[in-house]
Each structure stands twice: as structure tokens, then as C-alpha cells.
Structure 1
Amino acid sequence: MLLSLGLFVFQLRTMPYEELKRSTEYRWASNNRFGKAPAHQFLGEGEDDLTINGKLMPELTGGPVHLDKLREMAASGKAWILTAGNGDVLGKWFIQRIEDNRSHFISNGDARKIEFTISLTRYANDDNGQLGNLMDSKS
């Protein structure tokens, strides 16, 4: 297991990824002062985003069915527990965006290569009512 979102597991036979990029924002307020440099005050964490990039080769790895499952999870409007392959629980995240680019088509129109990008955002609300049902995330 590389990563799991709910019970959806990113692994070599489903959704192997090549790149995992995380961007965390920290918020600071700036107040102008007369005759001095601005004063700054820490307001707390801001957005926390995760971008997953990879390629699917349906003859060897996962395929469109796995992207469809992730799109179904995103459309539910729910957040999911994200767990790293080493067991670290990374918190609650929701799917912000899914993109795919298909190429190298065979005669029936199926793609032999599917490049994908999945954008996740950390769900910072304390309301667990927005958490997805684990069984709805099983791939």
C-alpha cells in the first residue's frame, strides 16, 4: 500500500502514483505602524493541499474503473481519512479535483496510457458528520 483514502487503496495494481506533492499554507496578518516596519501576527494554519500525479497502464496497472471510483467518492461531498503506507494517519481530506489524460488508444477506443492528477484538500472542520462511509470508498 502506498496510500489509502478511506478504503480506496493506492497501490501498484490500482492507482500507482509517481509524484506526491504537499503544500501547506500558514496565515499571518500584517498591521502597518507609523514610523516602523509592519507588525505581524500569526493567525494559524491555512490551506493544506496534496497533489497526486501518476500514470496508469491498464494492461499492467489499474484503469478507468479506479478513476471512476474516486470521482464517485468526490461527488459524495464527503471527507475521507488519509493514511500513508507506513501507517501514519494524515487526517481528513476531501477530493477537490480529478484530471486524466488518455492516450495510446487501441481499436476499441480504450486507452493504453492514462495520466492522472488528483487534488486533495485537508478537511479542517471538527464536524465528523461530513466523513464518508468507509464502505463507499472500497475499490
Structure 2
Amino acid sequence: MLAALGMFVFDTTTLLFDGQSRKRDWRNERTERFGARSASQFTGPGDDKITIKGTLVPGVVGTYSSLSTLAEMADEGEAQILLDGRGNNLGMFTIDSLSEDSDNLIDDGRPRSVGFSIELTRVS
């Protein structure tokens, strides 16, 4: 298991990803001062965003229905717990976007590979 988002497990039978990025922000409010640097006050954590990228290759790794399952989860709008492959709880995340790029279409219109990107935002 690479990770789990709620009940969806990222593995060889569903969807594997080969890249992940995380951007965390903290809020510091600034007040301008004459003749000196701005005063700064820490006001708390900001956004915590994770982007997961990979390629779905049905018949080798993963299934087409896995992307549909993630889209259905996003439609519900519920926050889901995100666990990494070691079982560490990363927090509760919502799915903000799901991008798909289909390549190498075969005669019935199905792609041989689908590049995907999932953007998640921590809500608690």
C-alpha cells in the first residue's frame, strides 16, 4: 500500500502513483512601521496541500474504475483521512481536483495509459 484516502487504498489493484508533493503554509500578519522592518505576528497554520501524480496502465497496474471512484468521493465533498504507506495519519483532506490525460487510444476509444493528478487540501 502506498497510501489510503478514506476507504480508497492506492495499490497495484487500484491506482499507483509515482510522485507526491506537499506544500504547507503558516500565516504571519505584518504591520508596516516607519523607519524599521515590518512587525510580524504569527496567526496560525495556513493551507496544507498535497498533490499526487501517477500513470494508470490498465492491464498492467490499476483499473479505469479507480478514477471514477475518486471522482465519486470528490462529489460527496466529505473530508477523508489520509494515511501514508507507513500508516502515519496525515490528517483529514478533501479532494479539490482530479486531472486525467489519456494517451494511446485503442480502436474502441479506451486509453492504454492515463496520467492523473489529484489535489488534496487538509481541513483538520
The TM tier, using the shorter chain, reads over 0.9
3-state SS of 1:65 partner:
helix
Q: How does 1:1-139 map to 2 (within 5 A)?
A: 1-124=1-124
Separation in structure 2 between the aligned mates of residue 63 and residue 111 of structure 1, nearest angstrom: 11
C-alpha contact (below 8 Å) 2:99/2:116 kept by paired residues: yes
Separation in structure 2 between the aligned mates of residue 50 and residue 70 of structure 1, nearest angstrom: 15
State, as a whole percentage, how many aligned pairs show the same letter: 38
5+ residue gaps in structure 1?
Answer: 125-139
How many Å apart are 1:63 and its aligned residue?
A: 2.6
Aligned to 1:131: none
How many Å apart are 1:35 and its aligned residue?
A: 2.1
C-alpha contact (below 8 Å) 2:13/2:63 kept by paired residues: no
3-state SS of 2:27 partner:
strand
Q: Deviations along 1:40-96, whole A, 9 cap, x unmatched?
A: 111111010000000010011113200000000000010001111101011100100
3-state SS of 2:74 partner:
helix
3-state SS of 1:75 partner:
helix
Give the alignment's TM-score, normalised by structure 1.
0.86
5+ residue gaps in structure 2?
Answer: none
3-state SS of 2:86 partner:
coil
Give the alignment's TM-score, normalised by structure 2.
0.96
Separation in structure 2 between the aligned mates of residue 24 and residue 98 of structure 1, nearest angstrom: 20
How many Å apart are 1:36 and its aligned residue?
A: 1.4
Separation in structure 2 between the aligned mates of residue 12 and residue 63 of structure 1, nearest angstrom: 9
Q: How many residues in Structure 1 have an aligned counterpart in Structure 2?
A: 124
Separation in structure 1 between the aligned mates of residue 28 and residue 104 of structure 2, nearest angstrom: 47
Flag the structure with higher strand content.
2
Separation in structure 2 between the aligned mates of residue 13 and residue 54 of structure 1, nearest angstrom: 14
3-state SS of 2:77 partner:
coil
Aligned AA (1:91): G
